[in-house]
Structure 1
């Protein structure tokens, strides 16, 4: 039986060899000189593409080797599914069969990603209309789409490709997507930790097993980039506490068979805790030894802290950069004594060479003029390289708000070792916008806003604004134009025209209003990089429309000075802002002092308002915030302070828990008329919302408020003070900043109007 099988195998082998030999004899041709080349089978590919790839030309001698090379070259183009060479006398005939081209790419079933995003992903992978189609290309496209869904924790996503032939040898690709449900993190484990408990270390992670707010934070959806960030936070935590040899040995991410849950295990080796035994600094310190030593924050006797080491080397490098040493190198070299768990750190400083900035090159600003960017620079051409001025310049350009991307890089100048060029790359964004919105507050009820603005008119850096606000008690129309560089040294000019109608918040059911029309001219003079002084003058006319139930104080003022009052107030102000964010600050300070002085016209008065805010980061999660405000007003020339210029207090923005605008004096009708002196103090402790991780756009806060409002001539006393405490929610919502507060008044007097629940869209603090 075995011999029979062996003979059968030999016969089959002989047959195959004979067929191959016969085929070789059939394919072999006698070499000849090519008189012409003819191409058959082309539909969309240009003949020139084929001729340019052929290694055989008219007049060449054709043989089998050149034929084989021609077939390989044509297949390498990726445009043909079949290629044959035939001869007709001394004419070489190239017969090809084109691959179909992609006419269009469609998607079905996708919700997580838009069609535009998926088309961009496939375009980067080489799958787009006009490209030759083959099955390998479709497979690559499917894998790329799946990869995008895996990044969103949709591990069960399935992709199937439907190929539909169309006319002219084209196909339409339709990717049918079944997204499935995202996989959730079931468990996170840290193995090998001894110095710190697992709960403390897991609190460092933004990834978690989810909570009741996971639908908003998506913190229980795994992504490799998020895990890498968490592992870096874990590494920094140990290195900042003396564990110099800490390392992450491995990370295992296991997904369940149904692809719906994920388990993460992190294996670590802590090592021993090291204490700094000493710090030394060596190298060329430019004769400023004491200055550079004062920058060292590493403290002997304390645990090794990698963050302190990095901050120290950066501070020394930046300081050398301030003196023009653009290529300075500072290296922290540890000398580890493992026997005693101690480490000595040597800082090696090499300033290298001092450099000038030869030229500042700007690219990417297709619309914005060069001068708009250059005038924000504090680093000048042909001046010493200064790292602080370059950073300040970058921040100032970034604060313009005209660009989505901004980078400044340093390039050496060939042949000039003491010169560098600064290359500024920007990517512009649309600076004109139309905004429509609606807001609701417990005081104003429903209000609508409309805004039309252009921040960078014709690329000049000038700003135009039209703002319209409607509310039950306050309505405003403002048109303004600002030139931020009215003068070459940065003095700004703002021209505005406005129309406002106002009522006290408790209007007693009346329909009286205060109507103010005016125009103003204001200049902003930069004093320092953080300080600006404002000077201006307004022309105003205020009319008291009596209506029903007008407060007696308004009626008395109108009877004495008329229902219409003109004023020409001068404005003087100052502001300083060092907060890290205007919407969700964590650190920094904000101060504003604004004053009005009316010396001419019917209304003669002086008015000032000062606001102070301070944000103190207590930890990564907690921030302590203070807000204080004081207002003062006085009539001039023997006239009382105009009642329509009064301050109001109570409610959001002052003392929460009391109805809006109801603190302070009342007239004989019982109407709340405001006052001429105001004092408010707010203290808040802010923390991320439970389950929201470290998201600072959604925060809880506990607060204590205090404030008082006094009338003209009223004695200042503690009896007018009101206090409250409570909790609240702050959310940077799509409609704008939202503040929600539940307050408990701590000091109530007869007649006080209490409103425990208050909220508003469109305000902060």
Structure 2
């Protein structure tokens, strides 16, 4: 056995030795380089293309013919082509020394259909999809569609539609194309059911909720949309709540948390706000610190805070702004005013310190004009209230910009005040304007119930040859009136801003068509006027004109009597005076400000007709809320004769009734009537007024600034104070006032202004011509 064991053991040793001799050298030998995986590219071939041109692929390839390609390079090729977004699959292969790139293109979008959307218009959606990358003809990318679905949900959530369901279907078509159908189920708008404010002690929840725009559904929620939740609106309401407390001394007020929850059916929203009021703090002291360059006795009156009263953040901020504004007007353009409250926790008091850093007083080195390619520099400079080499004034810079905007020559006016490099006490005033078209050629057509079809044409050059002078030629006609007019105005006839203008016109009026009375006039006018600026918003004027009147009596007895007493042709020389003041924030749909207009004219002695007229009209606009505007209008006028004629020529009378006067009555139908014909002839005394509440249309969108609703109360009439047996009534009596109420709509449409009113007379008399529905329409093209 031992012998056999020794023989076997020796055989095993020999086997191990043989293995070591044969295989160990192979294992220990160095690896040979894999030259077979690296080659030099002799050509590049792209397989699988359908719509994309090979050149497009070559533009994105990181290799060219002649380059050496290995495994490290092929990975870069695949990444580069994937990043283009054109392909679903990319493979790199080798055919000899030819680099073969095999691709599978992503499908192209053949069509996109959107259905079920009502709140968001399809055109707006298509534009948004195109901006993101989803558009017909482009490569389809599923990840882009997913992002679009998420964005659409977010948009609908912002509109309170939390039950919205968006389903996208991608249908394959021939030639590697797809059709995308986005189906929107909007669902109902979730309404705010309740807003809870937890932690309020000093004020009731009802009082605090009044500071919120958001709230539970009310009778007018269809208009105000207060019950539609919005994250942005809630943030604004929370800031309003914070301001409410901070303006009443609660310096430590804090909003601990805000929770918004929605019901299981996604129709009701509950908002819970947790607050910590803290304690109210009173003002213990008010100090001025720093280096104010204006005496303290001029600054302290600008501070609204008072010792012993509750601290107010609003009053503190406004006080700092007034101090900064005063310093700016005094030439300290870079003044800085900071407020630092020192809080005494135990006494619940706060001392407010206004740190004033006036900086250096600054003066204007140069006033530079830019962008006025047609308008001369002098036209701009004469409107500037901030002058070169003078101390800088922020108020004068603001007034300069406002005056340039009121010229009407420019689409936009901007003023910058950069510091002069290398100087700490100099600035330049850079005025940049964007010119409007130099001239205006306009034609118009319209319709009104009082004058029928209206035609007009005009050529107006508001800035003639860049000089700021106005030249106009106009033609207007209707079934009752025809007017030809030529005008010229130089707003700076003198360097002080006195204007001078000339006016030539010829008017034919058929009063039978206009008011029903059978007479007509042809009037030629040649006049000159001067205007004097009083303030930035007010102006006075003086004019003198010559009028030639050719009068035709017709069947009217009052007209025949007038011709018998005075003739039918008249040469009249008229002296006129005007005063106007306009502080409205805008001419179209103003929300604040007023207009005042006082006008008087006198037919001077020596004229064939001697009379005088005076008219005063005032209109106020008051913004009640962010949406409602209150308007109050009054118009009073009186005229009479003197010298050889003791009454106002009846064709110079005032009229009332109609869309621009007392709505609910036919235009120009109020007042005395001729007994023989029952035609209205107007009067020499007029009293008209209106009270109206305006609001934008509740539909919002593009109509927010072009459509306005109104609820009005009108009153007025005209009287004849001259005794005559030809009229049915004479003398002034307030009991003759007519009243009406109703609703109005004004739309600034793309083709002109459209005004509609439904007026209901409240005290019509026998013989009155009433008209409930009234409208006017015009267009410019």
Q: Say which of 286, 296, 301 aligns to 2:303.
A: 296
Matched with 1:23 is none
Give the whole-Å Cα distance in 2 for the aligned partners of 1:438 and 1:236. 52
Gaps spanning 5+ residues in structure 1: where? 1-26
Superposed counterparts of 1:485-496, under 5 Å: 491=499
Alignment check: 8 A CA contact 1:674 1:711 kept: no
Residues 242 and 582 of structure 1, relative CA distance in 2, 3 Å threshold: farther
Give the whole-Å Cα distance in 2 for the aligned partners of 1:646 and 1:493. 27
Residues 457 and 668 of structure 1, relative CA distance in 2, 3 Å threshold: closer
Q: Does 1:560 align with 2:565?
A: yes
Alignment check: 8 A CA contact 2:629 2:695 kept: no
Q: Does 1:309 align with 2:319?
A: no
Residues 438 and 250 of structure 1, relative CA distance in 2, 3 Å threshold: farther
Superposed counterparts of 1:433-472, under 5 Å: 444=450
Q: Say which of 691, 711, 717 aligns to 2:721.
A: 711
Per-residue CA deviation, residues 215-266 of structure 1 (Å, 9 max, x unaligned), is: 4443433333333333333333333333333333333333344444433333
Alignment check: 8 A CA contact 2:503 2:525 kept: no
TM-score scaled by length of structure 1: 0.76
Give the whole-Å Cα distance in 2 for the aligned partners of 1:293 and 1:202. 36
Matched with 1:127 is 134
Q: Say which of 329, 332, 355 aligns to 1:348.
A: 355
Residues 408 and 118 of structure 1, relative CA distance in 2, 3 Å threshold: farther
Give the whole-Å Cα distance in 2 for the aligned partners of 1:292 and 1:118. 55
Q: Say which of 323, 326, 339 aligns to 2:330.
A: 323
1:570 shift after superposition: 4.3
Alignment check: 8 A CA contact 1:587 1:617 kept: yes
Per-residue CA deviation, residues 420-473 of structure 1 (Å, 9 max, x unaligned), is: 566778889999988776666xxx5x96667778998799786979796869xx
Matched with 1:529 is 536
Q: Say which of 641, 644, 650 aligns to 1:638.
A: 644
Alignment check: 8 A CA contact 1:572 1:596 kept: yes
Superposed counterparts of 1:15-414, under 5 Å: 30-42=37-49, 45=52, 50-102=57-109, 105=112, 107-128=114-135, 131-163=138-170, 173-356=180-363, 377-379=384-386, 384-399=391-406, 411-412=418-419, 414=421
Alignment check: 8 A CA contact 1:663 1:752 kept: no
Alignment check: 8 A CA contact 1:404 1:428 kept: yes
SS at 1:347's partner residue? strand
1:554 shift after superposition: 2.7
1:575 shift after superposition: 0.6
Residues 665 and 447 of structure 1, relative CA distance in 2, 3 Å threshold: closer
Give the whole-Å Cα distance in 1 for the aligned partners of 2:462 and 2:666. 43
Alignment check: 8 A CA contact 1:358 1:420 kept: yes
Matched with 2:11 is none
Residues 667 and 33 of structure 1, relative CA distance in 2, 3 Å threshold: closer
SS at 1:67's partner residue? helix
Q: Say which of 652, 659, 676 aligns to 2:684.
A: 676
SS at 1:294's partner residue? helix
Give the whole-Å Cα distance in 2 for the aligned partners of 1:423 and 1:102. 51
Give the whole-Å Cα distance in 2 for the aligned partners of 1:605 and 1:239. 64
1:576 shift after superposition: 0.7
Give the whole-Å Cα distance in 2 for the aligned partners of 1:429 and 1:125. 35
Give the whole-Å Cα distance in 2 for the aligned partners of 1:47 and 1:689. 58
Residues 616 and 37 of structure 1, relative CA distance in 2, 3 Å threshold: closer
Give the whole-Å Cα distance in 2 for the aligned partners of 1:435 and 1:207. 45
1:98 shift after superposition: 3.1
Alignment check: 8 A CA contact 2:132 2:144 kept: no
Q: Provide the aligned C-alpha RMSD in A.
A: 5.0
SS at 2:320's partner residue? helix
Residues 52 and 659 of structure 1, relative CA distance in 2, 3 Å threshold: closer
Give the whole-Å Cα distance in 1 for the aligned partners of 2:211 and 2:699. 13
1:136 shift after superposition: 0.8
Superposed counterparts of 1:655-734, under 5 Å: 669=676, 673-678=681-686, 684=691, 698=709, 709=719, 711-712=721-722, 732-733=746-747
Alignment check: 8 A CA contact 1:453 1:463 kept: no
Give the whole-Å Cα distance in 1 for the aligned partners of 2:462 and 2:109. 43
1:91 shift after superposition: 2.8
Alignment check: 8 A CA contact 1:358 1:421 kept: yes
SS at 2:278's partner residue? coil
Give the whole-Å Cα distance in 2 for the aligned partners of 1:344 and 1:731. 54
Per-residue CA deviation, residues 727-755 of structure 1 (Å, 9 max, x unaligned), is: 6656655556667666766xx9xx88779
Matched with 1:575 is 580
Further displaced range: 280-289 or 259-268: 259-268
Q: Does 1:594 align with 2:599?
A: yes
SS at 2:197's partner residue? strand
Further displaced range: 358-367 or 382-391: 358-367
Matched with 1:610 is 616
Alignment check: 8 A CA contact 1:649 1:709 kept: no
1:699 shift after superposition: 5.8
Residues 64 and 666 of structure 1, relative CA distance in 2, 3 Å threshold: closer
Further displaced range: 336-345 or 226-235: 226-235
Alignment check: 8 A CA contact 2:669 2:769 kept: no
Give the whole-Å Cα distance in 1 for the aligned partners of 2:382 and 2:374. 16
Give the whole-Å Cα distance in 2 for the aligned partners of 1:261 and 1:341. 42
Residues 700 and 282 of structure 1, relative CA distance in 2, 3 Å threshold: farther
Alignment check: 8 A CA contact 1:655 1:723 kept: no
Residues 251 and 739 of structure 1, relative CA distance in 2, 3 Å threshold: farther
Give the whole-Å Cα distance in 1 for the aligned partners of 2:370 and 2:194. 48
Alignment check: 8 A CA contact 1:526 1:532 kept: yes
1:723 shift after superposition: 6.2
Give the whole-Å Cα distance in 1 for the aligned partners of 2:757 and 2:201. 43
Give the whole-Å Cα distance in 2 for the aligned partners of 1:679 and 1:607. 14
SS at 2:302's partner residue? coil
1:328 shift after superposition: 1.8
* Matched residues, number: 721
Residues 114 and 437 of structure 1, relative CA distance in 2, 3 Å threshold: farther
Matched with 1:13 is none
Give the whole-Å Cα distance in 2 for the aligned partners of 1:427 and 1:161. 47
1:281 shift after superposition: 1.8
Per-residue CA deviation, residues 384-437 of structure 1 (Å, 9 max, x unaligned), is: 442212322443455567888776555555545445566778889999988776
Residues 545 and 718 of structure 1, relative CA distance in 2, 3 Å threshold: closer
Give the whole-Å Cα distance in 2 for the aligned partners of 1:487 and 1:701. 43
Give the whole-Å Cα distance in 2 for the aligned partners of 1:456 and 1:123. 43
1:347 shift after superposition: 0.9
Per-residue CA deviation, residues 498-541 of structure 1 (Å, 9 max, x unaligned), is: 6464759996x755555656576656543321112334455655
Alignment check: 8 A CA contact 1:578 1:590 kept: yes
